[in-house]
Structure 1
Amino acid sequence: MSKTILAVDDSPSIRQLVGFTLRNAGYTVTEAPDGKAALDLARKGKFDLIFTDVNMPGLDGIELTRSVRALPGWAGTPILILTTEASDEMKQKGKAAGATGWLVKPFDPAKLLAAVSRVIG
């Protein structure tokens, strides 16, 4: 059975690139254009992994992470932040919110897939 991944980014091109990379590796991918849409999807269903950007309008990736962690049954689901933000301060905010890991854009597809493999197999 294919693992399901939610890819959240306000950039359509990044969502497409992440989705393409993951689908070619055999994963099922759902895309969301922002944190609010992603949170609505998380409330309705279950994903094996969430990738989220940090800087998005409305609900940003840190708040999305915090909000997903507060939902029943989501405590152990990996959340990987994929962003241009690379500061230790932002990484700490992500970790405090419950993020599992942090990847910096632009990303190497092989490294993205390696990160996915580490957290969901």
Structure 2
Amino acid sequence: MLDPDDTAMRSRGSILTVDDCATTRALLGVLLESLGYSVQAVDNGSDALEAASRQAFDAIVLDVEMPGLDGMAVGRALRQNPRTAGAKIAMHTGLDEAQVRAGFSGYDAFVSKAASPRLLCERVDGLVHGTVAAQPAA
């Protein structure tokens, strides 16, 4: 049996995933955990802001199209809060990137939902570990 302290020592960081689709949350969780991350998943923007206020995450993956606070509103709120302003944010959506950038340009990575979930996880891993440059904010 694994010692919880050993697991924590091997963690590559912590990721918050935000998506209203349970299947997407579960898939991203499994893939990111397989890369060694500790993952917290929430299904709405309000819970995302609450989680980010309690814990510093190495990256936050935001779905854009969610009921209530959408991913763009969450991203803007994260950037306005001094505690979360430096968080690495990856936008994950079926929308065109130009649509997202028009509503929130402060993200670090954009990955279409048409791409494989594995690509998103690789991009997030690169952002966290500095092997993929963050996209400049427009």
TM-score normalised by structure 1 residue count: 0.90
Q: Distance in 1 between matches of 2:101 and 2:41?
A: 23
* Mapping for residues 67-82 of structure 1, pairs under 5 Å: 67-82=77-92
Q: Is the 8 A contact 2:53 2:84 kept in 1?
A: no
Percentage identity across aligned positions?
A: 34
Question: Counterpart of 1:117 in structure 2: which amino acid?
Answer: D
Question: Counterpart of 1:101 in structure 2: which amino acid?
Answer: A
Residue 17 (str. 1) matches residue 27 (str. 2): yes
Q: Distance in 2 between matches of 1:87 and 1:19?
A: 24
The unaligned stretches of length 5 or more in structure 1 are: none
Question: Counterpart of 1:61 in structure 2: which amino acid?
Answer: G
1:29 corresponds, among 16, 29, 39, to: 39
Partner of 1:5: 15
The unaligned stretches of length 5 or more in structure 2 are: 1-8, 130-138
Q: Is the 8 A contact 1:12 1:33 kept in 2?
A: yes
Q: Distance in 2 between matches of 1:103 and 1:17?
A: 15
Partner of 2:123: 115
Larger relative contact order (Cα-Cα within 8 Å, sequence gap ≥ 6): 1
SS in 1 for 2:84: coil
Partner of 2:70: 60
| Number of equivalences | 119
Residue 90 (str. 1) matches residue 100 (str. 2): yes
Runs of 4 or more consecutive aligned structure 1 residues displaced over 3 Å after TM superposition: none
| 1:46, distance to aligned residue in structure 2 (A) | 0.9
Give the stretch that moved more between structures: 25-34 or 78-87. Answer: 78-87
Residue 44 (str. 1) matches residue 31 (str. 2): no
Partner of 1:105: 113
Partner of 2:132: none
Give the number of the structure whose alpha-carbon radius of gyration is greater: 2
Q: Distance in 2 between matches of 1:19 and 1:116?
A: 12
Q: Is the 8 A contact 1:43 1:71 kept in 2?
A: no
Question: Counterpart of 2:124 in structure 1: which amino acid?
Answer: V
